[in-house]
Amino acid sequence: MATDYDAPRKSDDDSESIEALKERVPDKLSGAVDVEDADNPGGFDLPGADLSDLDLDVVVLPPQADEFTCVECFLVKHRSLIDHETKLGAICVECAA
Ligand SMILES: [Zn+2]
């Protein structure tokens, strides 16, 4: 008699919940898309804030008067190590070799 007890309950619950979902889903989806699009731009601001902290750790000094930045290896070197100048900038003797 246990099967007779379960069968009527299951069919009643399923038919009610499925009908309710079918009516609600279309309205919920159309409304949710607009809300998510509006929220997403604000959510991307947090990763950008973390990157600003990384910049504080890496201190980039501009080349001194007697130094230059090689356009090939991007290392700052003494001007005596310039092999030749290009339109983009100076190239050190190591990169020119
Ligand atoms: Zn170089």
Beta strand extents in 1-97 (DSSP E only): 67-69, 76-78, 82-85, 90-92
Comparing 24 with 35, the larger pLDDT belongs to 24
Name residue 87's amino acid.
Answer: K
Q: How far is the centre of ligand 1, averaged over its atoms, from the C-alpha of 81 (Å)?
A: 9
pLDDT over 70 for what percent of the chain? Answer: 40
Which residue(s) pair with 69 in the sheet?
Answer: 76
Q: How far is the centre of ligand 1, averaged over its atoms, from the C-alpha of 91 (Å)?
A: 5
pTM over 0.75: no
Cα four-point dihedral sign 23, 24, 29, 35 = positive
**pLDDT > 80? residue 35:** no
Q: How far is the centre of ligand 1, averaged over its atoms, from the C-alpha of 95 (Å)?
A: 4
* Ion ligand 1, residue ranges at CB < 5 A: 70, 72-73, 92, 95
What are the domain boundaries of the chain?
A: 63-97
